Structure 1
Amino acid sequence: MTAVVGGITAPLATGRDGWLGLLRRIPPRILWPGVIGAAMLAAGGLGAGAIVRRDPLLSGTFMNAIRYGHGHDLAFMVLFVGLFLMVLSWVRLGRLVRVGTVGGRTVALAAAAWTTPLIIAPPLYSRDVYSYLAQGAVALRGFDPYAEGASVLDLPLRGNVAGLWQETPSPYGPLFLLLGKGTVFLTGDNVILGAILMRIAVLGGLALLVLAIPGLTRHLGGRAPVAMWLTVANPLVLALGIGGAHNDILMVGLMALGVVKVLDRKHLSGFALIALATAVKATAFLVVPFLVWVWAARLSGPARHRFLVATAAGGAAFIVVFTAATMVAGVDLGWIGVLKSQGPLLTWMSLPCAAAEILFYTLGRHIPGWTHDGFLGFFRAAGMVVLLGVLVRQWWLAREGGVDAVRRATIALLAASLLAPSVLPWYFTWALALAAAFAWSDRWIATLAGVSVWMVLVTLPDGTIVARWTYGDMNGWVWWPYLAATVAAGVWVGKSLLKPEAPPDLEPVVDGVTVTDVIHAPEPAPKAAAVPEPTRVVGGTGG
């Protein structure tokens, strides 16, 4: 592999030395604040995160003081300072990515460095990982996880599940249940070790996303470094997705790689990967009808014939893989009926919930016969009707296949994350995994960055969603200044990203080679009848 600057060619560093050299060349003011910030997130999470109810490590020690009173306040501040440092590093790296100074491997390595401290951190920004472990234990101990909730278990696996979900069966697919069963089999009732292993499993989704992004950008027109920065290095993905050990990250990694395979004309393997993604979380199935159009557009014959052939072949691959995952997990299809279990959760990031809350407390409560639950149920049902209309319309408009079909699949994923009865910040990674691979203007990149940081901030470290407070709650006004501050922080991130990042000691780096090294490299002697090596141009779309 070679790099080209101004017509001068030099070999790129490869292998382990090349990776280590690339990591060393990342400017310290970009790399280390993020590493220190991630470590502070992990440390602060011991007191302010989504901690276990009875911690066998800290209980009975002086460190237990960080979970109460002033100690908890201190842990909370440490965590927020850590988040600020991580965001600061991310913004600084983004400035270099935006102007084409660094490549995709640089971004991936920086993200890996920022992620490492989070692997052993307590669960952050969510208690969902405890539900994952409980659901795996329910299946492992002979109960039907699609009929029974955590309440059938003994402590400590049951005791760490949020009260809202104690009676709720698992809404997740057989592959993820299999991961949960395997984790509990290995760790038993050790909730701390189980949470770490679940996080490592979810981390595999991030690795799959790194593999998928170069192919996605090649087909969809974006730049790999930008897409990598918007996804695998994003605090929304790292702090919430990995910190919270959310299965959404594993799902989007499999889904993104499946989309790449279909775009690369490896249709059967692509549909198989989408089946595995669906076997983690049902949301991934939304892209299947759109990928059918991609395949059908490449076939010959009448339009109806092409559609039926692509549907039959893709459907067969999907069904075979999904059925195999279901059989290996030892479960049935009961999880499909449990998907409505998100109903009890009320968050303002769901547009139907937001509309219901605002309109009920301003108008609805003055209408005789209307109750809050009735108002909420009506708007949630209306939201599902609107979502269905959006999905059908986007699918029909995607019938020409190609890149446009993937773009409309991305719109479908975004609509699902906005119009679902319950929405949480990490749901927006569904659409982001594909959207980041398209070509974006600098201002849109800045907007995506600001929104990402805002979504992190509206979730408190212990898993409380600030935007969950209802409009009519008399104590809700306390949170409005904080919400205003989160918006201001998002705006600051977007504006900061558009500023130049050019420290005096920085040499532009592309995949392990400084521009100075390449420019001053001696011109190689011509080789007669030699087949030229692949080249990469510094700047532009290199990744």
Structure 2
Amino acid sequence: MNEPAAAPVGRRRVELIAATALGAAATAALSVSMYGYLADADLWLRYPLGRALARLTGSGLNFGFAFCGILALTAAWLWLGRVRPAIRETMLILTIWALPMIFGPPVLSRDVYLYVEQGWQLLTGANPYTTGLGQGGPTAAMVQHWVGTTAVYPPLTLRIQQLVVTIAGADGYASVVGMRVPALAATVALAPICAALARRVGTSPARAVWWAVLNPLTMVHLVGGAHNDGPMVAVAALALLVAYRGTAGSFVAAAALAGVAGALKQPGLLFAVAVALIMLQRLDLPDRRRRWLAGAGLVAGAIAIAALAFLAVSALCGLGNGWLGTLSVPGSVVTFTPADQLAALIQQVGAAVEIEVPDDLRQRLVWPVRVVLLIALALLIRRYRRSPIMLMQSAMLAFTLAGPAMRGWYYLSGITLLGVAGSRRVLAVGTGIIVMTLTSEGFQETARVAYPLGSGLLGLTLGALAAVAAYPWLWPRETPGERQRVS
């Protein structure tokens, strides 16, 4: 497919400004929409502006603001992909898009209140692994649905949460806004890391940065939601970059960084496998048998080093490994996992034709769905066996889909680096996943419904349409002259 000729400088500038303005309006709409479903005790209702915005969006308008915001943000991002901003332009756009959300309520998730509560527990001398939530912290009124549960996150993340609450003086509003700092820092750090990774694999650095830091999933769930997946993904990406140096020392350092990523959030440990595959690729062994033996040894070594680093960081944090006893908590609720949606579909069809469906159908479907995903992953491994980054992103997406629960921010570990090595077709699929999860979550959060089948099907339909429609707009891996305009 021939690439379109570059737009004249004047037209490009107009399009760049227009797309940036559209994205800023979108993030503002998303932030405003969140006032429409604040709880009575929410922190933002202390202030006149917060109460005014809550009244504005409290009569069903929050749904319209949120949905229009999601679609407009996606359109602005894809428009920028067609304009192809340089890295400096992308970082300026990130700043402009982030500003409307930084001081507003958390977007499409209330997990940040949980982070503050856990940080407050540590500040008061309690251990979140042994002390249930809702014990009187500054956000206790906003974590009622978590009351009595204990922390699921690794120790390093809990210590970061404690640091934020300490700096904020245990003030609820300042602590919630402060929780965005680690997520924003991770988003900014992804820019040079992704650019360097793209140079390593011979693709466009500017494209890699545009995809990683401006995609709607990053904007909504890192900037807007302050989720702790951001630091994990940034450290994991740094591990891959270090691994590309191809020395024994860099292998050890990269595997250790994967362990640190795991200490931020457990899936980060899986990036140790990608570290091993990158090292194997750098060795360039001609004999197939030697490649298999070396690969097995490198994978085992990387996992061992990552595990040791994880344990060392955990020991330094001094909280123990109480999260091991809470691994079943995320799976105790119905979310948008394939098993959940398939079970909901079968139950609705069964009810329509008056066929009795087992109450535990969801649990029965979990492993058949995982087997299907495992087969799909095997095919992807064959397809991307020469691309460790694409192989790892495929594995992380499969891991997310096969998990006991699925939230939009879980996709970040399998989406963020697609711009480094993915083809235009891969980015189209990634765009579909982004639209699918954000529209499903937007419907669920703003319409106050409990993960109905309808919201999942709506997201799947819009995601499929977005994947097809976005393809011509997406930035190819490399274009003539692209490498001359990367900063």
3-state SS of 1:469 partner: coil
1:196-226: per-residue Cα shift (whole Å, max 9, x none)? 1111111122122112212222344432222
Deviation at 1:419, TM superposition (A): 1.5
1:353·1:421 contact (CA, 8 Å) conserved in 2? no
Deviation at 1:177, TM superposition (A): 0.7
Hey, what does 2:416 align to over in structure 1? 433
1:133·1:195 contact (CA, 8 Å) conserved in 2? yes
- Choose between structure 1 and 2: higher helix proportion: 2
1:394·1:412 contact (CA, 8 Å) conserved in 2? no
1:409 and 2:397 are equivalent in the alignment: no
- For residue 200 of structure 1, the aligned residue among 181, 185, 190 is 181
Hey, what does 2:472 align to over in structure 1? 498
2:153·2:323 contact (CA, 8 Å) conserved in 1? yes
Change (3 A) 1:319 1:63: closer
1:358 and 2:345 are equivalent in the alignment: yes
Hey, what does 2:132 align to over in structure 1? 149
Hey, what does 1:19 align to over in structure 2? none
Q: Which moved more, 1:72-81 or 1:482-491?
A: 482-491
Hey, what does 1:522 align to over in structure 2? none
2:16·2:83 contact (CA, 8 Å) conserved in 1? no
Q: Which whole-Å CA distance do the structure 2 matches of 1:303 and 1:61 have between them?
A: 65
AA of the residue aligned to 1:433: T
Deviation at 1:361, TM superposition (A): 4.2
1:350·1:423 contact (CA, 8 Å) conserved in 2? yes
Q: Which whole-Å CA distance do the structure 2 matches of 1:225 and 1:60 have between them?
A: 41
Hey, what does 2:267 align to over in structure 1? 283
Deviation at 1:85, TM superposition (A): 4.2
1:39 and 2:23 are equivalent in the alignment: no
Hey, what does 1:12 align to over in structure 2? none
Q: Larger C-alpha radius of gyration, 1 or 2?
A: 1
1:483-522: per-residue Cα shift (whole Å, max 9, x none)? 6488448736852663699xxxxxxxxxxxxxxxxxxxxx
Change (3 A) 1:449 1:312: closer
1:292-324: per-residue Cα shift (whole Å, max 9, x none)? 243345568956874576357535642443233
1:336 and 2:324 are equivalent in the alignment: yes
Change (3 A) 1:318 1:468: same
3-state SS of 1:340 partner: coil
Deviation at 1:117, TM superposition (A): 2.6
Q: Which whole-Å CA distance do the structure 2 matches of 1:500 and 1:469 have between them?
A: 31
Count of matched residue positions in the alignment of Structure 1 and Structure 2:
464
Deviation at 1:60, TM superposition (A): 7.7
1:212·1:257 contact (CA, 8 Å) conserved in 2? yes
Map 1:258-337; keep pairs closer than 5 Å: 258-265=239-246, 266-296=250-280, 298=282, 306=294, 310=298, 314-315=302-303, 317-337=305-325
Q: Which moved more, 1:374-383 or 1:194-203?
A: 374-383
Q: Which moved more, 1:377-386 or 1:253-262?
A: 377-386
1:446·1:497 contact (CA, 8 Å) conserved in 2? yes
Q: Which whole-Å CA distance do the structure 1 matches of 2:102 and 2:460 have between them?
A: 26
Map 1:504-519; keep pairs closer than 5 Å: none
Hey, what does 1:121 align to over in structure 2? 104
1:173 and 2:116 are equivalent in the alignment: no
1:377 and 2:363 are equivalent in the alignment: yes
Change (3 A) 1:95 1:467: farther
Hey, what does 2:3 align to over in structure 1? none
Give the root-mean-square deviation of aligned CA atoms: 3.8
Q: Which whole-Å CA distance do the structure 1 matches of 2:48 and 2:448 have between them?
A: 31
Q: Which whole-Å CA distance do the structure 2 matches of 1:38 and 1:77 have between them?
A: 13
1:133·1:194 contact (CA, 8 Å) conserved in 2? yes
3-state SS of 1:343 partner: helix
- For residue 27 of structure 1, the aligned residue among 3, 16, 21 is 16
Change (3 A) 1:24 1:148: farther
Change (3 A) 1:542 1:188: same
Change (3 A) 1:62 1:226: closer
Q: Which whole-Å CA distance do the structure 2 matches of 1:412 and 1:489 have between them?
A: 20
Determine which structure has greater relative contact order: mean sequence separation of CA pairs < 8 Å that are 6+ residues apart, divided by chain length.
Answer: 1
Hey, what does 2:60 align to over in structure 1? 73
Q: Which whole-Å CA distance do the structure 2 matches of 1:395 and 1:327 have between them?
A: 37
Deviation at 1:191, TM superposition (A): 2.0
2:122·2:162 contact (CA, 8 Å) conserved in 1? yes
Q: Which runs of 5+ in 2 are unaligned?
A: 1-11
Change (3 A) 1:96 1:319: same
Deviation at 1:186, TM superposition (A): 2.6
Hey, what does 1:538 align to over in structure 2? 481
- For residue 137 of structure 1, the aligned residue among 114, 120, 127 is 120
Deviation at 1:329, TM superposition (A): 2.0
Hey, what does 1:235 align to over in structure 2? 216
3-state SS of 1:124 partner: coil
2:128·2:151 contact (CA, 8 Å) conserved in 1? yes
TM-score, normalised relative to structure 2: 0.81
1:208·1:254 contact (CA, 8 Å) conserved in 2? no
1:453-491: per-residue Cα shift (whole Å, max 9, x none)? 3322222388469895345xxxxxxx56x9648844873
Hey, what does 2:435 align to over in structure 1? 453
1:173·1:282 contact (CA, 8 Å) conserved in 2? yes
1:41·1:82 contact (CA, 8 Å) conserved in 2? yes
AA of the residue aligned to 2:366: R
Change (3 A) 1:413 1:485: closer
2:168·2:174 contact (CA, 8 Å) conserved in 1? yes
- For residue 402 of structure 2, the aligned residue among 419, 427, 431 is 419
Change (3 A) 1:297 1:90: closer
Q: Which whole-Å CA distance do the structure 2 matches of 1:493 and 1:296 have between them?
A: 33
Q: Which whole-Å CA distance do the structure 1 matches of 2:461 and 2:213 have between them?
A: 23
1:48·1:461 contact (CA, 8 Å) conserved in 2? no
1:459·1:466 contact (CA, 8 Å) conserved in 2? no
Q: Which whole-Å CA distance do the structure 1 matches of 2:223 and 2:60 have between them?
A: 24
1:223·1:541 contact (CA, 8 Å) conserved in 2? no
TM-score, normalised relative to structure 1: 0.74
